[in-house]
Structure 1
Amino acid sequence: MDVFALLIFPLLFLLISPPWLIHAQQPYVGLAANACDIADNSTSVLGYTCNGLNTTCQAYLTFRSQPPYNTVSSISKLLNSDPSQVSQINSVSENSTIEPDKLVIVPVKCSCTGGEFYQSNTSYIVDNPYFSIANNTFEGLSTCQALQAQNGIPATTLPIGANISVPLRCACPTKNQSDDGVKYLLSYLVSWNQDVSSISTMFGVDYKNTLEANELKNKKKKHASASVITSQSFEAIKKPEGKNKVEEEESAEFLERSVYRGTIKGDFAAIKKMDGDVSQEISVLNKISHFNLICLSGVCFHDGHWYLVYEYANNGPLSGWIYHDNIDKRILSWTQRIQIALDVAMGLNYIHNYTSPPFVHKDLKTTNVLLDSELRAKIANFGLARSADGQEGEFALTRHIVGTKGYMAPEYLENGFISTKLDVYAFGVLLLEILTGKEVSALYEGVNGHLSDVLSPVIHEENGKENLGEFMDPSLQESYPAELAVLVAGVADSCIKNDPSARPGMAEIVQSLSRIMTTSLNWEKSKTVSGYHSFT
């Protein structure tokens, strides 16, 4: 039997797409809904406004099965629903285990709380921060702000083991909807590549009614906002009144191919225009947060194009600074170079060892490392990133080889092996570019197929320090500690070993570069080096 066959009553649904999009009965929910540190008491964040005909009603939620909430009983308990009703509506037995990611319809009692917002309450024993509870456990059916408002406990002091009340998003039909025959509203979890038309067809409801229920109807205003998909504090970008698409793009400040600088709430932002499927990059960036990784501020879909909004890095890509023949004659000091290398290493260490699942960036290069106003590095462009299937050093396989020539590890090029050691190899190449001031293509000139040949005169010969003059970036004018330069060259050499198991992990690299950075700062102050030999 079709899972929706028993929903024979007139029905409309509210669109919810965690963790990056929540459509309300009235307005969309913006990025603030998922950022616990943002003070936002707007209607869209705390719940749907009590504008229905009744203060209490029967409503329906949708939930996608995920362990440990993959049985009728566990889902019913989590969402405070009657398991017999869940079983009946979804045409399964009460003791059934539900396959992963399968949509489950859950009936709940929806009530107007305090005369302001509709909600259905359940309880939960705290085992994670509000953010994770709202967006992972409850899949966007609640928000950080709603949890804090309901329980009066700030996110910063939420105790593990506390029993909290969780307000779930629901609503009752308005008078107009009731007059049109609508008896119930269902909060639906939107997936990528779904649109209002396809969802309406799936539920057998009127397309226009769905638009109106979610305030998605196109009013054709000259300056209408595009729909926003978001996970942090972000405001919809509005088209300037009177400007057409071409005029608008021409007036924006061009940064690089399809990337523009815009202004949101008075702050600069990098806006990247994209076509096709952007779900992979958005999915990855919604799961990571680190100072050395570029932050996705929001996503906008308008006129058939995606616009990804990132934090703005004032000093642009590393490629505009590091090469000694750059047009602007920018020069990075020794200490600045080591700090940038350490920043990149820390960003990679985070995605390799501190995210669940761990991720492989797969496209580390100088153009994908951005520098902020303090010349601190942030890794960008996660379009090729994928989860690492296993512990560091273990392999996954692919037949689809994509990346940037010169940065791709041999095991990936030859056999399609994927592990975190791909990023380690690319980091070694990047480190070579930082030391020499040469592009990777120039580094390959005159070597017999492997970049270790470039390093050999410095790290494998007795007079290695004497060979630094020909190896190091001439724009440094020999203003660097020779002993430390040899050590950093050694780190680069270890990263580009042909055998991935012989390469260090990013945690080890971070430790080495941290010690080198500390000594470099001391050298910069005194122009003398001491203690460097203790961490070879």
Structure 2
Amino acid sequence: MSPVINGPLAVPLRCACPSATTGRINNLLTYVVQEGDNVTSIARRFNSTHGDVLAANTLLVPLVHPPHSRVVLANATITSTTPPESQKFYVSSPCSNGLLAGLGIGVGCGVSAWAAVLAVFLLWRRRRRRPVGDSSGMARETPLVAAVRGAVETLAAYSYADIETATAGFAEERRVAAGSSVYRAVINGEAFAVKRVAAGGDDVRGEVDVLGRVNHSGLVRLRGLCANGDDTYLVLEFAENGALSEWLHPGSAAACLRRVLGWKQRVLVALDVAGGLNYLHHFSNPPYVHKNLNSGNVLLDANLRAKVSSLGFARAVAVAVAAGDDSIALMTHHVVGTHGYLAPEYLEHGLISPKLDVFSFGVILLELLSGKTAAFVTDDDGQNMLLWQAADGLVDGDGAWFKLRAFMDPQLQGHYPIGVASAVAALAVRCVAREPRARPSMEEVFVTLSAVYNLTVDWDPQNYSASASMVRGR
């Protein structure tokens, strides 16, 4: 079969478990054959044998011990002149924790190299002040761009002509929101988001650095990069359903065109965001604080699954996490963020810790419950009010459920399990506690919301009338 230029190319990857071979083989590795390789050289490279390689097959390399990262990454070369949309390195067998650990070390080394190369790349971009691609629109991969892409295999390098074509010349109808610098792009038939970052971009260097280090379904993925003059263009995973804020707040023009998020969808959105933040705080290397979390930075994909975006202000907090205390804080004199989402200790003293994100997440939980914005004007006296302050005492004292019903989003039309909603409200109130040490960790938040989601899955709205009457009868 002859491949079609710019068409899809399906490349099957063999997957198998070591149990299918002899008992002494503990790991199977998927290896991309390089020019000049043969069975003997591959076996020698991974300290295997010619016979074992043939016995497994020509794609999987049988190993007695997990491979060292230097073996996997050595002599890696980029030979294509037109960068593919994405390149991925796959581990064939989920049966081997040892192999995954070995590859994790290798990816960590690659990411470190990527951060250093990226800094040089941005410096080079400022000095050259001209497009990466030529006027013909074909991608021209300079050695420096190739080095950046080689450091992170899933990152593609695009010319400015590619980006301009993909966004229809940055047409206004491709802009995802009024005043936004993000455009919907189509590359090889697939939708992406192209974010234009103007000159000056310390935040773009930080955002690309963070996105190059993280990989989680609850975080928007970086797919490619383009430099043109003083501007940088990030090619990102596209979220078809836009920002969470557009779904929750009926005052926005976009919200009028969207259907209402039901209770189950809201709980799943909260769980997705909590999972992404828990990953940033406890499983990325180094751990990060987002610092600018708000419902406008939570995007919804085609299946209404939430993804956290806008990591340009993220800050590494390895010291706090290593000490095992999420309340240990760094300090900054440069306070940035969105009104209504900023924790008091950050707004007043510039203190940064994972509890800063917990606070912002608590505000998003309150938005999901109430449908109100993080800062709003009260109906009775027209006073400006912060949502987290309005929730004070929401779940305390007599008549707590009646107060909660008055607080809940009227768009839900009462279709939610009041007991479960009360548990979510109690969690939200804990998250927005004034004292950082009184707030839960994102790990605890994620575990709690997982339990809430399990209860919600079993909840049947058709039985709500009976359960509601029982509640009112208490």
State the TM-score, normalizing by the size of structure 2. Answer: 0.67
The answer to whether 1:428 aligns with 2:362 is yes
Residue in structure 1 matched with residue 458 of structure 2 by the alignment: 522
Q: SS at the partner of 2:169?
A: helix
Which string of whole-angstrom CA distances, capped at 9 and with x for unpartnered residues, describes residues 475-497 of structure 1? 11111122222221111110011
Structure 2: segments with no counterpart, 5+ residues: 1-11, 16-31, 49-62, 80-89, 107-112
Larger-gyration structure (1/2): 1
Which string of whole-angstrom CA distances, capped at 9 and with x for unpartnered residues, describes residues 143-175 of structure 1? 799xxxxxx98475667389x9xxx9xxxxxxx
C-alpha distance in structure 1 between counterparts of 2:186 and 2:168, whole Å: 16
Residue in structure 2 matched with residue 175 of structure 1 by the alignment: none
C-alpha distance in structure 2 between counterparts of 1:448 and 1:465, whole Å: 25
| Alpha-carbon spacing, 1:344–1:251, altered in 2? closer, same or farther (3 Å) | closer
Which string of whole-angstrom CA distances, capped at 9 and with x for unpartnered residues, describes residues 77-119 of structure 1? xxxxxxxxxxxxxxxxxxxxxxxxxxxxxxxxxxx766xx9xx
**Greater CA deviation, 462-471 or 440-449?**
440-449
**One of 221, 225, 228 as aligned partner of 2:139:** 225
**One of 292, 316, 320 as aligned partner of 1:390:** 320
**One of 224, 233, 236 as aligned partner of 1:307:** 233
Residue in structure 2 matched with residue 379 of structure 1 by the alignment: 308
Residue in structure 2 matched with residue 268 of structure 1 by the alignment: 191
C-alpha distance in structure 2 between counterparts of 1:298 and 1:509, whole Å: 32
Q: SS at the partner of 1:306?
A: strand
Residue in structure 1 matched with residue 428 of structure 2 by the alignment: 492
Structure 1: segments with no counterpart, 5+ residues: 1-35, 40-44, 50-111, 146-151, 169-186, 200-206, 208-215
| Alpha-carbon spacing, 1:340–1:382, altered in 2? closer, same or farther (3 Å) | same
Aligned length: 380
Residue in structure 2 matched with residue 289 of structure 1 by the alignment: 215
C-alpha distance in structure 1 between counterparts of 2:167 and 2:159, whole Å: 15
Whether contact under 8 Å (2:194, 2:234) holds in the other structure is yes
Q: SS at the partner of 1:192?
A: helix
Residue in structure 2 matched with residue 400 of structure 1 by the alignment: 334
Whether contact under 8 Å (1:226, 1:302) holds in the other structure is no
State the TM-score, normalizing by the size of structure 1. Answer: 0.60
The answer to whether 1:465 aligns with 2:401 is yes
Whether contact under 8 Å (2:240, 2:302) holds in the other structure is yes
Q: Where is the strand percentage greater, Structure 1 or Structure 2?
A: 1
The answer to whether 1:360 aligns with 2:282 is no
Which string of whole-angstrom CA distances, capped at 9 and with x for unpartnered residues, describes residues 442-467 of structure 1? 17897897655422453123112122
Aligned-pair distance for 1:299? 1.2
**One of 176, 180, 198 as aligned partner of 1:255:** 176
| Alpha-carbon spacing, 1:461–1:314, altered in 2? closer, same or farther (3 Å) | same
Listed as ranges, the matches of 1:77-156 within 5 Å are 133=69, 142=76, 154=92
C-alpha distance in structure 1 between counterparts of 2:65 and 2:292, whole Å: 32
C-alpha distance in structure 2 between counterparts of 1:311 and 1:341, whole Å: 20
- Runs of 4 or more, structure 1, over 6 Å off, are 36-39, 120-124, 126-130, 137-140, 187-190, 196-199, 216-219, 243-247, 443-450
Aligned-pair distance for 1:37? 7.8
C-alpha distance in structure 1 between counterparts of 2:362 and 2:13, whole Å: 37
Paired-residue identity, %? 32
C-alpha distance in structure 2 between counterparts of 1:197 and 1:317, whole Å: 33
Aligned-pair distance for 1:423? 0.2
C-alpha distance in structure 1 between counterparts of 2:99 and 2:166, whole Å: 52
**For residue 403 of structure 2, what is the amino acid of its counterpart?**
N
Which string of whole-angstrom CA distances, capped at 9 and with x for unpartnered residues, describes residues 415-468 of structure 1? 111110000000011111111111111178978976554224531231121223
Q: SS at the partner of 2:120?
A: coil
C-alpha distance in structure 1 between counterparts of 2:420 and 2:96, whole Å: 45
C-alpha distance in structure 2 between counterparts of 1:347 and 1:218, whole Å: 33
The answer to whether 1:347 aligns with 2:347 is no
Q: CA RMSD in A?
A: 4.6
Q: SS at the partner of 1:458?
A: coil
Residue in structure 2 matched with residue 160 of structure 1 by the alignment: 98
**For residue 320 of structure 2, what is the amino acid of its counterpart?**
G
C-alpha distance in structure 2 between counterparts of 1:251 and 1:222, whole Å: 24
Q: Determine which structure has greater relative contact order: mean sequence separation of CA pairs < 8 Å that are 6+ residues apart, divided by chain length.
A: 1
